[in-house]
Amino acid sequence: MSRQGTAEEKNTKSDPIYRNRFVNMLLNRIMKHGKKALAYQIFYRALKKIHEKTKRNPLSVLRQAIRRVTPNIGVKAKRVRGSTRQVPIEIGSTQGKVLAIRWLLGAARKRKGRNMAFKLSSELVDAAKGRGGAVDKKKETHEMAEKNRASAYFR
């Protein structure tokens, strides 16, 4: 029996401009070496570029991009009878959003372009339209889960 008690629930602060907790989650993933001010700068520039490109609310484009990239199912390596199998598992909504953000930022970093704000805005617009590196990653994950459907009973 644990003597430390239960863990306190963390509550993330909301973003000062858009008043959105979700933006803060994304900022924490952009941030490198604790430089949150630089992450804010990159993110706001990206949202400005999205607004210039699409003439729509950038937050709605961001939400749509994340909704398109969020996976429903994934694979988890599990050791069964001496061999490691990729077992398909369902992914919850929170974990799915975290994966989607991670994939979006990873795909944006891999893009060729001038700066991170430009690359991030391009990736978000592409993901909202259903294309781009992050959407490919989601499709790849779903295909992997579909191929290993036979191992589902090892859950």
- The whole-angstrom separation of Cα 27 and Cα 13 is 11
Provide the pLDDT confidence category of residue 18 given band limits of 50, 70 and 90. confident
Nearest to 151, CA basis, from 75, 68, 62, 70: 75
Report pLDDT digits (tens) over 129-141: 999 999 999 999 9
Q: Residues of the chain with pLDDT > 70: what percent?
A: 94
Burial class (CB in 10 A: 0-12, 13-18, 19+), 46: buried
Specify whether the backbone of 83 is left (phi greater than 0), alpha (psi in -120 to 50) or beta. beta
Determine phi and psi for 94, rounding to 5 degrees. Answer: -65, -45
Of the ranges 21-25, 46-50, 91-95, 142-146, which one carries the lowest mean pLDDT score? Answer: 21-25
Q: Are 59 and 132 in contact (CB under 8 A)?
A: no
Burial class (CB in 10 A: 0-12, 13-18, 19+), 41: middle
Report pLDDT digits (tens) over 35-45: 888 888 899 99
Report pLDDT digits (tens) over 97-153: 999 999 999 999 999 988 999 999 999 999 999 999 999 999 999 999 998 887 766
User: What are the structural domains of the chain?
Assistant: 21-154 (1.10.455.10)
